[in-house]
Amino acid sequence: MATENIPNATAKRLPIYYRYLNILADSGKTRISSTELAEAVKVDSATIRRDFSYFGALGKRGYGYDIASLVEFFKKVLNQDRLTNVALIGVGNLGHALLNFNFHGGSNVRISAAFDINEEIAGTIQSGVPIYPMSDMKEQLNAQQIEIAILTVPAPVAQKVTDELTETGIKGILNFTPLRINVPEHMRVQNVDLTNELQTLIYFLDRFGTEDE
Annotated binding site: 90-95
Other beta carbons within 10 angstroms of residue 66's beta carbon come to 16
Site string for ligand ATP, 56-75 (x = CB under 6 A): --------------------
Residues in the chain: 213
> Which member of 6, 94, 179, 192 binds ligand ATP (CB under 6 A)?
94
Q: Which of residues 124-163 bind ligand ATP (CB under 6 A)?
A: 134, 152-154, 157, 161
Residue 95 in contact with ligand ATP, rule: CB under 6 A: yes
54 — alpha (psi -120 to 50), left (phi > 0) or beta? alpha
Specify whether the CB–CB gap between 50 and 13 falls below 8 A. no
Rounded CA gap, 42 and 159, in Å? 36
Specify whether the CB–CB gap between 165 and 146 falls below 8 A. no
Residue 117 in contact with ligand ATP, rule: CB under 6 A: yes
Closest distance between ligand ATP and the C-beta of residue 30, in Å? 44
User: Annotated binding site for NAD(+), which residues?
Assistant: 90-95
Chain residues that interact with ligand ATP, rule: CB under 6 A: 89-95, 116-118, 134, 152-154, 157, 161
